Structure 1
Amino acid sequence: MTYTALPRSFRMLAAHRKVGRLWLCMATVIAALVLTPILALGWQALHGSSDLWPHLFAFVLPTALTQTLMLLFGVGILVILIGTSTAWLVTAYDFPGRSMMEWALLLPLAVPTYIIAYAYLDILHPIGVFQGVIRAVLGYSSPREFRLPDIRSMTGCIILLGFVLYPYVYITTRAMFLTQAANLIEAARTLGTRRSGIFWRVALPLARPAIAVGVALALMEALNDIGASEFLGVKTLTVSVYTTWVTRSDLPGAAQIALAMLFLVIALIVVERWARRRQRYSVTAQRNRNFVPRKLRGFAGWAALCCGLVPVLIGFVIPASYLAVEAWKRFRAAGLSERLVSEAANTIIMSAVATMIVLAFGIIAAYAVRLRPGRFSGVAFRLSTIGYAAPGTVIAIGILIPVAALDRFIDRSMIDWFGFSTGLLLIGSGAALIYAYTARFLAIPAGAAEAGFSRIPISFDQAARSLGQNATGTFRQIHLPLSKAALAAAGLLVFVDCMKELPATLLLRPLNFETLATHLYGEAARGTYEEASIAALAIVLIGTLPVIVLARVGRQKS
């Protein structure tokens, strides 16, 4: 190496380190933005009136916490039963329609929890078609003579949420079943295990970590729900936060209840980690063979298909068909209202803006770890993804506190300097809502970007650096093109999640600003179900997009 080349190489290395520090600084700022609502929530809860805590402990938290725990326990049991059994069914057995069932079992993911509650409230109404047909068959003439148990109950809420949220367990557990090698099954058979005992003694113990992860995701979604719980008469912590803030105008009380929710979420995560603390895997040098499903013929095959169709019918087909029929009736009677068109535009614009911001922030957080691996960048990355574990209500309360304070500061400053008031600039413009979407869903693109970058050898970075590219140029020329498929799928998931998000949208949307989700919530709360059918159908149809992506990925992995 010549002496003249040394200064240039040092300059290139110094420039690379400088750009790497810039990416790390941006990632740190993003982590601080996500962490701010959590810290603000704790500050507001701890500095609120001390008289509120005795009232909450005496009258609010016992009922809300009891009903929340009952709901989570029931939903957890149901999603384990449905998700694990269906995952084993389509993995261990080959029957007519199996290839269709593999992706059809994902369809309930397209139905938000508040929409399935809205749909079944009308489907199972005492004077509705379903109960009317049953009474006609049984020879009864009025609901006074015969009616089914009211769906507005804890049992009804558990059943409906379970049939919507089981795909979280199905996805993770089926992936684990598919990766279990056939030689493990054969070894169990040679040791005397019957075919009927393979599931209980081999497959299920190995799948416990995947089941724990899926259950934790499903329970956090159940905890985040506000529409279904309120429609079905279950007073959860989320519903208590909303009513305390909106109905009673008590922000400190709402913050204190939200803090209790945050502790519950942390407890769920700790329990999930504890449940798989001793799980270890060993990989042999021998190539594992794929799991070969057992062929079912005749009555057994068709019975397996019928069993697999039950959760699909309850969780997707019945509510989606009802929404399609009601939407068509509404469209024929009154057409497509201008209000609904504007609400659809609001939904698309807000979700699209939030998706672009979330994608950019997720890429920055993941690429900073790529450039500057270490404890600091790893902590910043993990902090930037904690919002996904917090319910939307918690994030919304935490964001309102600093954003409202900043709005007041800007307003006072503009009055002092220029003599006019800006009002609620950030909240009124929807910036606070986009902030909530960003903090809530940043984990999705951050995780996708990290997974995409991890598949790119570090030698690519070194080759690009030797050709004169800095860190930003390497990202633009190499990492972004090679990771665009994963980032596009993550962007689609973020867009649909933003469009379906109800609690944060209800609490942070500007005045006179409605989305499809809030329109549906308002109509269902008033009992005018026919007015909301088109909005609900639109949400379900758009929600099928990530399901299609998941189904295609699942077929490729299989």
Structure 2
Amino acid sequence: ITLPLSAPGIAFSLVLVFLLAIGELSVPSFLRYPVLPVLSFTQFAASYNFGAATAAAVPLAALALLGVLIESALLQNRVFTFRSIGRGLLISLGRWNPIAAAIFGLLTVALVIFPLSALFADAFSLTTLHDAMQRAGASIVRSVIYSAIAATILMALGFLLAQLTRDRGQRLVNFLTLALFAIPGTVLSIGLVRLWNSPMTWFIYTTPALLILGYTAQYCAVTTRLSLAGFFLIPKTFDEAARLSGASWTQRLFRIFVPLSNRTLVCAWLAAYILCLRDVPIALMTASPGGDPLPARILTLMANGAPPMIASLCLIMAIASLIPLVILARVIPSRGITG
């Protein structure tokens, strides 16, 4: 019973993780693995060979499109909502329970606690923190500002797209937004640069607007899906009653849907903020000169910066990402995203 009912979600998770992993730039770049995102970025940023960069990006785009098609076939346009039912379904593992707990405990220690402890040990120095703030303090501020602006745009755009496509057009919007989300950041960044790098569009290409456009395109699927999940928890009778009373679309939007979607909007904003704050490829390839956010600054300083200072910046980045994540975890679980 459990596995057949969970199979589409499990398969979608595998596809999503595969797409995110194959488009990852920061980890293979730091470890010097010649994967396609690194090759595309190197040809684009170091060699200025747009043809080779595009050629390396084509397989990534094709894989992203294939993943979106698989997702559409598996989920068949279904939207999952977040709703608390008191106590979730518990599956007893019997005698395997201690073994499973030990395995997951070891993985948590090895993959989370030990790396963060190493960062903390290297970074826990007032001199090191002061040096890190001097070298990248402006990048930290820029990251927070850019991520907050992009998250606000994404929250509003996702909410409006979900509202406009709640009854029709949902399949097309889901496909397009998920395709943008699945496309690796290096591929999307190359496309943005080629599109806006012209004398007529200098006001976008030479400003943070290009970076925010990249964030908006990449993560619009997240806020749209969250908003759709929230809308499906609002009874349609509310909207129908407002229509019968003569309320316009704007009145229904601001007097019914927005007040009943406060938690949805908060969740969408926090999710978008976290994703934008930690993004590396778009920040590295579309940020204007002298306007790099913190992830791009860290990756740049890794080449010749002092390890303790890099550890301090990574620790600051981790804390900046964990704070909204904790808030998001507090908002969702007890009553769902709509309360």
TM-score by length of 2: 0.85
Structure 2 equivalent of residue 394 of structure 1:
187
1:362 maps to what in 2? 158
| Partner of residue 83, structure 2 | none
Matches within 5 A, 1:26-425: 203-271=2-70, 290-291=89-90, 293=92, 303-329=99-125, 331=127, 334=130, 337-370=133-166, 373-375=167-169, 378-380=171-173, 382-405=175-198, 408-409=199-200, 424-425=202-203
Q: CA deviation at 1:466?
A: 3.4
Whole-angstrom distance in 2 between the partners of 1:399 and 1:534: 32
Does 2:324 match 1:530?
Answer: no
- Partner SS for 1:478: helix
Q: Classify 1:264/1:381 alpha carbon distance in 2 versus 1 (closer, same or farther; 3 Å).
A: closer
Distance 1:466 1:556 in 2: 30
How many Å apart are 1:323 and its aligned residue? 1.2
Note if contact 2:68-2:178 (Cα within 8 Å) is conserved in structure 1.
no
State the one-letter code of the partner of 1:256.
A
Distance 1:271 1:472, change over 3 A: closer
Amino acid aligned to 1:366: A
Cα 1:554–1:220 shift into 2, 3 Å: farther
Report how far residue 334 of structure 1 moved: 4.4
Q: Cα deviation per residue 1:178-198 (whole Å; 9 max; x = unaligned)?
A: xxxxxx5xxxxxxxxxxxxxx
Is the 2:227–2:264 contact (alpha carbons within 8 Å) kept by the matching residues of 1? yes
For residues 235-269 of structure 1, what are the alpha-carbon distances to aligned partners after superposition, in whole Å with 9 as ceiling and x for unaligned? 11100111111111112321232122101222334
Runs of at least 5 residues in structure 1 that lack an aligned partner in the other structure: 1-183, 185-202, 278-288, 411-423
**Cα 1:531/1:460, change in 2 over 3 Å:** same
The code of the aligned residue for 1:212 comes to: A
Structure 1 window deviating more from structure 2 (209-218 vs 323-332): it is 323-332
Q: Given that residues 224 and 503 in structure 1 are in contact (C-alpha distance below 8 angstroms), is that contact kept between their aligned partners in structure 2? A: no
Q: Aligned in 2, Cα 1:251/1:390: closer, same or farther, shift over 3 Å?
A: same
Letter in 2 for 1:433: L
Counterpart Cα distance in 1 of 2:237 and 2:6: 35
Instruction: Give the 3 Å change call, closer, same or farther, for CA 315–348 of structure 1 in structure 2.
Output: same
**What residue number does 1:43 align with?**
none
How does the TM-score come out when normalised to structure 1?
Answer: 0.54
Deviations along 1:3-58, whole A, 9 cap, x unmatched?
xxxxxxxxxxxxxxxxxxxxxxxxxxxxxxxxxxxxxxxxxxxxxxxxxxxxxxxx
CA-atom RMSD in angstroms: 2.7
- Between the aligned partners of 2:171 and 2:182, the Cα distance in structure 1 is 18
5+ residue gaps in structure 2?
Answer: 77-87
> Highest Rg: 1 or 2?
1
- 2:80 maps to what in 1? none
Alpha-carbon contact 1:208-1:276 (below 8 Å) kept: no
The number of residue pairs the alignment matches comes to: 324
* Aligned: 1:467 with 2:245: yes
Matched, 1:505 2:283: yes
Q: Percent identity at matched positions?
A: 23
User: Does the C-alpha gap of structure 1 residues 396 and 333 become closer, same or farther in structure 2, counting only changes over 3 Å?
Assistant: closer
